[in-house]
A and B are shown apart, each in its own frame.
Chain A
């Protein structure tokens, strides 16, 4: 297959199926990179419908995909020499797991695309392979009832599809498990880092200003001289929460994300205090703020992680959010007092 892949040109027809390559072009890779660093459009879609990779025939396997371009690209780039059909379901441009959780990758949407593409006329067998992570939205037995197609859950990762098919549609226990290795966690950081940028900027602006407070009023010179310590602590807390905590996620003894973040926030503020050799009141006030920011940002990473439950996050938030608010408020008051002293 040498067909050049171009997302604009991808228009699957119900009779004329579009071919796509299992090789990614530079445009695909750059698009993916932009998504990772958060500059691309978030809904980066593939038109729903039936695609072919290689030269599939009426016996070839049918792989089901979300219509989020990154999901689709990861899938097709893992197919090398396979001749298969890809059925792209309209998941509103959202990835498999999230769209399944939200109900867009569902029994209904799979049934709908099976009907729309008249797949039963194109293949003789009655078997489709779904990504395992669509299982929270798609009920295999209902797809079977409504269409006659046996919906099999393939492996979690697209790279295991070949071995899965070769093993006679059997996944090893490892293929069924979601992992969350450092590399995957690192990929999520840029987007998460920018997520709370406005709150970060507001805090930075506020403490820049507060640095100039004095018993005599407001001193511009004092602000210019002393803003560095609070601003670095704020930034340090932010980084502790959304860069260091995710990277070292499994290696901190606590299970609650808010505590993991607080641990790194405390560590980093201690280092910053050391470097700046500030008076104790300044150190404590900014320390509380740094810890609170780190804890909050780490807690926000629960949504990006692959193993936190709603009940669990609710439980930790119940105690963590009051603490975070108290730390910020007390820290700010102490900071102002340290300026007026």
Chain B
């Protein structure tokens, strides 16, 4: 199957190589294979693949990864806008939307 790519150069993912120990956890946590380990350090292969789920930063014990996490869901953004809060969805709750 073709890989799907979202908008270019918008993801907030950042990697600080100085803090990285090359443990490889980020490569196990990321569902979009954004990281690879090259010469004992993690490296971002393609920033545009990142969906800002935060799995990598959550599992990086040295804090080498930062990303502003959230769910890329228009309905949640609209809900948040209407209620004056952060994006918030009701998925999996009362509403029947498939997102989260």
Interface residue ranges, A against B (CB under 8 Å):
38, 42-43, 68, 92-95, 97-102, 132-133, 135-141, 153, 156, 171, 173, 176-181, 188, 191-192, 194-195, 249-251, 255-257, 299-300, 302-317
Contacts and interface: CB of A to CB of B under 8 A. Distances in A.
Which 7 interchain pairs have the tightest Cβ spacing?
Answer: A303-B99, A98-B100, A303-B73, A310-B70, A308-B72, A135-B55, A94-B92
B72 A177 contact: no
Contacts of A257: 74
Contact of A309 (B29, B30, B50): B50
Contacts of B59: 135, 139-141, 153
Contacts of A307: 4-6, 32, 49, 51, 72
Contacts of B77: 310, 313-314, 317
A299 B74 CA distance: 6
Contacts of B2: 250-251
A169 B70 CA distance: 30
B87 A310 contact: yes
Contacts of A195: 75, 95-97
A93 B92 contact: yes
Specify the main secondary structure of chain A where it touches its partner: helix
A310 B88 CA distance: 11
Interface string B29-60: 11111000000000000000111111110110
Contacts of A38: 96
Nearest to B12: A311
B76 interface: yes
B71 A310 contact: yes
Contacts of B87: 310
Nearest to B5: A255
Given A311-B11, A312-B72, A316-B7, A137 B51 contact: no
Given A177-B33, A194-B96, A309 B55 contact: no
